Amino acid sequence: MVEYRPEGRWTHLLPPDAAADLLDASLHADLAGAQVWLLSWLPAQGTPLHDHGTSAGAFAVVRGTLTERVVAAGRNGVRESAAELTSGRVRHFGAHYVHQVTNRDTEPAVSVHVYTPGLAWMNTYAVDGGTLLRTGTERAGVDW
């Protein structure tokens, strides 16, 4: 059940005119083509290892804890790292950033993701024998 609570809204904190004045004019064009996703994550739910095609962006954990695994291919093989991201943490990334996001906690989590330009496709990957292998491509309007 969803309950509307007008006193809980945050929009009164920053009037739209004031927000527009805070943004650099060149940023307006970038944001016009951006996509914003609000994702909920049940315990043990996660993504495959993937990139965001030619889109760059950022995501913020709003509630709970998410684990991000980052994989990068280099001359000396694959480098991997993992980090627990708690509420309030933000990660930014460029095009072709390969990662996997999972809720390893026992409680649900929520995150907000922004992509610019909007996502047209995402490649999926696997690590096999120290090599990063592309395993597929998911396309907007077809696979999601």
pLDDT at 1 over 70: no
CATH of the domain at 51: 2.60.120.10
Reported in sequence order, the residue ranges of the chain that DSSP labels E, i.e. its strands, are 35-41, 56-63, 65-74, 77-86, 90-93, 98-102, 109-116, 121-128, 131-139
Q: What total of structural domains would you count in the chain?
A: 1
Yes or no: say if 115 and 54 are a contact pair by the CB < 8 Å rule: no
Rounded mean pLDDT, 108-134: 96
* Cα distance between residue 29 and residue 66, in whole Å: 31
pLDDT at 4 over 50: no
Alpha helices in 8-125 (DSSP H): 16-22, 25-32
With respect to residue 25, please indicate whether it lies within any of the assigned structural domains: no
Q: Say whether pTM exceeds 0.85.
A: no
Yes or no: say if 96 and 51 are a contact pair by the CB < 8 Å rule: yes
pLDDT at 100 over 60: yes
With respect to residue 104, please indicate whether it lies within any of the assigned structural domains: yes
pLDDT digits (tens, 9 = 90+) for 42-85: 999 999 999 999 999 999 999 999 999 999 998 889 999 999 99
- Domain range enclosing 91: 33-139
pLDDT digits (tens, 9 = 90+) for 7-35: 555 555 556 666 566 656 666 666 778 99
pLDDT the model gives residue 2: 44
